[in-house]
Amino acid sequence: MPATNLRIPGPIELPEHILAECSRPMISHRGSEFAEILHEITDSAKGLFGIDGDVFLLSSSGTGAMEAAVVNFFSPGDAVLVVRGGVFADRTRAMATAFGLDVDVLEVEWGDAVDPAAVARRVEAREYRGLFLTHNETSTGVMNDVEAVGGVLRGLDLLFVVDGVSSVGAIPLRMDDWRVDVAYSASQKAWTAPPGAGLLAVGSRGWKFNNDASCPRFYFDLTTMRQALKQGQCPWTPPLPVCFALRASLREMREEGLDRVFSRHHEVGEFVRRRVIESGMDLFARHEVASDTVTAIRFPPTTDAGAFMTRAREDFGTVFGGGEGELRGKIFRIGHMGWTDRSALSGAVDVAAGLLD
């Protein structure tokens, strides 16, 4: 069995020295040592989110952070608009519906990004309390233009919520400059840490909306989290090994410089797309909006997707991401976020092209 080339779009492969952080001895999560770690993480995270406001560390995956972004700012019956361009946007729709919000959907062809003018038309036609947009739709390999969408929301008293699970730390998000009020992400993606921590960033409009939001909540209640953060704590037991790893990876990102981190991801994204096209395979996303953290590739119509995935794994140690939801059996995905090695990416493209030949 060859060594594994884990190419799913998160949890990502971690370098040895980050993995080693996870085996540090446990510490008290109510003590000063943890307070320092937590503040270091949340302060660095502000740079990645492009926000001067507040960042919280949640003991959860990205979906927990998504739930926090719904329950803390909305009430049952609130009219919201969800831009639905893939599986994760659809999860936001399902979640908002589950909490009793009055959800309208702006459908976007899967594989394409939302047209900001279409958002403008919808928010003019009905008064919404919130707009949900997935920055990087991991299921289709598409990046949405958050800045342009934020631009059409200026002047509206509406909460702009962005799913940054597979973008933040790899693709620029400038919440304060782009009129984004709430955004969230997760440790197992570009943050280069294991799964287990959600990150939630809240700007000033978020706090205003929080005042009269009545969705039921407890574990993810922002008031409890804010109180705890003042003491350098999380309200509930934090995922300590993930925090150790996050602190280390964020230090490295600061040393590298965020601009360089972002340009490196763009270069790697271009590299993978070029290799895929040169190898005769079909990108699923429209090239102009293709993601710099994950590339989705269309299977030829006759391919047995299950057999492809099994052979890639068993014969070549290469683990691709499959298609999810409606895209199951139609596409596969190659993740390239965080710490990436071009030869491993190139190798994965070669394995795929060989199997599809």
Amino acid, single-letter form, for residue 299: F
Which residue stretch of 23-31, 60-68, 112-120, 312-320 sits at the interface with ligand PMP (rule: CB under 6 A)? 60-68
Please state the closest distance from residue 63 (CB atom) to ligand PMP, in A: 3
Which residue stretch of 12-20, 57-65, 252-260, 282-290 sits at the interface with ligand PMP (rule: CB under 6 A)? 57-65
Residue whose beta carbon is closest to ligand PMP: 62
Mapped onto helix, strand or coil, the DSSP state of residue 244 is helix
Considering the complex, state which of residue 210 and residue 291 has its C-beta at the smaller distance from ligand PMP. 291
Query: Would you count residue 144 as binding ligand PMP (CB under 6 A)?
Result: no
Q: What angle do CA 244, 248, 253 make, to 5 degrees?
A: 145
How many beta carbons lie within 10 A of that of residue 312, not counting itself?
A: 21
Query: Would you count residue 165 as binding ligand PMP (CB under 6 A)?
Result: yes
Question: Do residues 234 and 225 make contact, with C-beta atoms less than 8 angstroms apart?
Answer: yes
Q: Which residue has the tokens 């233009």?
A: 145
Please state the closest distance from residue 60 (CB atom) to ligand PMP, in A: 8
Rounded to whole angstroms, the Cα distance separating 210 from 73 reads 5
Q: What angle do CA 233, 235, 240 make, to 5 degrees?
A: 60
Find the binder of ligand PMP among 42, 44, 59, 134 (CB under 6 A). 134
Alpha-carbon dihedral 85, 87, 88, 92, rounded to 10 degrees: 80
Query: Would you count residue 88 as binding ligand PMP (CB under 6 A)?
Result: yes
Query: Would you count residue 292 as binding ligand PMP (CB under 6 A)?
Result: no
Query: Would you count residue 63 as binding ligand PMP (CB under 6 A)?
Result: yes
Cβ-based neighbours of 357, under 8 Å, separated by 6 or more: none
Residues 177-196 close enough to bind ligand PMP by CB under 6 A: 186
Binding site for ligand PMP (CB under 6 A): 10, 61-63, 66, 88, 134, 138, 163, 165-166, 186
